[in-house]
Structure formats: C-alpha cells, structure tokens
Amino acid sequence: MLANKFGRALGLAVLALSMGGAAQSALAADYQPAIIYDLGGKFDKSFNESAFHGAERFKKETGIAYREFELQNENQREQALRNFARRGYSPIIGVSFSQAVAMEKVAKEFPKTEFAIIDAVVEAPNIHSVVFKEEEGSYLVGLLAGMKTQTGKVGFVGGMDIPLIRKFACGYVQGVKAANPKAEVFQNMTGTTGDAWNDPVKGGELAKSQFDRGADIVYHAAGATGLGVLQAAADAGKLGIGVDSNQDYLHPGHVLTSMMKRVDNAVFRIFKAGEDGKLHGGVEVLGLQEDGVGWSLDEYNEKLITPDMKTAADKARTEIIAGTLKVHDYTTDQKCPVE
C-alpha cells in the first residue's frame, strides 16, 4: 500500500517536472530572436564576430536558438529585416549604423515587433539603440601606443570615412598626445562606401605606406579591412592595434593590444532583455564604466606591455570613469582638439 502511494506520488512529481519542462520549452519556442550581420560577415574577426559571440553566449546559457543573416550587399538590409518580422522573430538586431534607415522604415510596419540597432540611434518606441564611447577605449590604446613608439610616429587606418570612425581616430590621437605630445600621427581612411569594411588588401597597403613614413605602430578601426593592417604590421616587424574583438592572437608579438568594443555584451543583453520582457525603445550608451569598451592584455601581448604602460592605462581608465579626465567625442562637434 505504502509502495503504491509512493509510486503514485513519484509519478505525479515526474509528471509535474515533465509538464514544467514542457512549459519552459514552449516559452523558449515562442521566443524567437534574430540578428542581421553587416557587410564583412560574422567571421570578420572584428565587429560582426563580436556580435556573433554575444548571440552564441545567449544560446549557450539559455538553450534558446536564434536566427541569423549575413548581408551580401547593401540592398538586402530592408528585405532581411522585413522577412524576419513577417515570420514572427523578435527582437531583431541590426548590427551597424548602416541598417538604421531600413530599420526605421520596417519598425513602423511592425509596431509590435521589437528591434535593436548597434552603433546608431533610431528614435522609435520599438527600437532599442545601443551606442558606445569608442573615444574612451581608443584613448587608452593611444596612450599605450604613445608610450611604446620608438620613432615618435604612429598611424591610424579607418574603414569607411564617417563621423563614427573619426571618433575612434580622435580618441586615439588624444591618447597618443597625452603620452607623447611631440608624436606624429598618420591617418588614412579606406573608402566612402560599405566596401571599405572588407578590403584587407587596401588596408595592408595603407598601413605599409605609414610604416614607410616612419610609423612603428598602426591602429585600425576598419572591420575585415583591418586584417590587412595587422598582417602588414607583422610582415614589417612592426606593431598593430586591433579593434572590436580581441585580435591579439592573430599575430602574437605584433599586436600591441586591441581596443575591445563589447558588441558581444550588447547583443547578449538585448537578447536577454527580450527574453525577460524588458526590452523597450530608448538609447543605451556603453563606455568604460559599463564595460562597453576597454583594452586587451593576455598571453599574446603581455611581453609588449611594460608595468609602466599598464599602470598608466589603468590610471587613465579610473580617471575617465571618475570624470576627472575628459576625452573629447568627435561626433559632438565634428572636430578633434588635437591632430
């Protein structure tokens, strides 16, 4: 009798657990996040790939799958957003400012769908915008470059010539000059169209021209184009500085550091907020204080960073967060206080 009662109780418990698991699975099935990578692809080892890692982290931690799409040309942006929205996906993340116009249009057509965009501000009730304080992270890697250079000449190679990339460059120059006021900073942009993010050959050529002029360190903010910059640095026996993702491992001993732009954290937070029903329109700004930007130090570059360099970077980080050190944001007035 007791055994039968115990068996029934155990059976009910198992049934309850099974039903709970089924309910959880149903909820997971109802939640359908999606992400659209920009030109350059999700394996660009930089901006898009950082977003990909954030999406993968969400899937691993929650068990919830997501859908993705890699743009092959600029005309696919609106089509991809609309296709995901029609099929019930939400939230839909657009990686890159270049998706802003298309997203604003599609979001109006699907007011009950949540959207999110990285690197742009789109004012709409169902679009969550995430932007970064790239100037803060760029200042820190510039400070390290200014302390490390032996020639007093360093460089910067940007991707598409837009205010956002000028923001990286200006922060970098401010950091270089803080460490070495007499340093010379060469600057080149790769192009004026989306192709500028995916041209490693030209990136390498621009970096080589800066090395030929005496630079011994070149920082890139150019997506997949920057892979050519880092290769050129390694080939010349010089130093490169990576961006967005940690790129130190690509050429150990030849990448001084990487300016970490935590797009991965942003994507994870968006997907998680959507799962929790807490994703809403508005603007989120991620800087040093929010762990949105920073610089890398690992086994691949630790021999390049002296104790004095690390101390200086840590001090500057603390002062920027405290507000006692101000780094100018190029996008506020389209100007840079130093050249």
Count Cα neighbours of 11 within 13 Å in the Cβ-side half-sphere. Answer: 6
pLDDT tens track for 168-194: 999 999 999 999 999 999 999 999 998
Q: pLDDT by residue (tens digit) across 60-89?
A: 999 999 999 999 988 899 999 999 999 999
Q: Which of 21, 136, 30, 16 has its CA nearest to residue 89?
A: 30
Q: With beta carbons less than 8 A apart as the criterion, state whether 146 and 216 touch.
A: no
How confident is residue 45, by pLDDT bands cut at 50, 70 and 90?
Answer: confident
Tokens at 258, concatenated: 């990487």
Q: What is the DSSP letter of 121?
A: -
**pLDDT tops 50 at residue 14:** no
Residues 189, 164 contacting (CB under 8 angstroms): no
Degrees to nearest 5, angle at CA 229 with 53 and 70: 35
**Is residue 263 pLDDT above 90, yes or no?**
yes
pLDDT at 7 over 50: no
Residues 6+ apart with CB under 8 A from 323: none
The residues with which 53 forms a beta bridge, in sequence order, are none
pLDDT for 29 equals 60
Q: What is the pLDDT of residue 6?
A: 38
Full DSSP string of 256-319: EEEEEE-HHHHHHHHHHHHHTT---SEEEEE-TTTTSEEE--STTTTTTS-HHHHHHHHHHHHH
Averaged pLDDT for residues 117-142: 97
How high is the pLDDT of residue 22?
A: 41
**Dist CA 286 CA 139 (whole Å):** 15
Answer whether the bond into residue 33 is a cis peptide, omega within 30°.
no
- Contacts by 320-326 with C-beta closer than 8 Å and gap 24+? 320/136, 320/139, 320/287, 320/288, 321/288, 321/289
Residue 28: pLDDT band (50, 70, 90) is low
User: Which pair of tokens denotes residue 225?
Assistant: 């184009």
Enumerate the H helices of the chain as residue ranges: 2-30, 47-62, 76-86, 100-109, 134-148, 163-179, 200-212, 226-236, 263-275, 307-322
Task: Pick the most confident of 8-12, 19-23, 73-77, 143-147.
Answer: 143-147
The arithmetic mean of pLDDT across residues 256-284, rounded, is 96
Q: Which residues of 201-231 are buried (b: 16+ CB within 10 A; e: fewer)?
A: ebbbbbbbbbbeeebbbbbbbbbbbbbbbbb
Q: How far is CA 211 from the centre of its chain?
A: 27
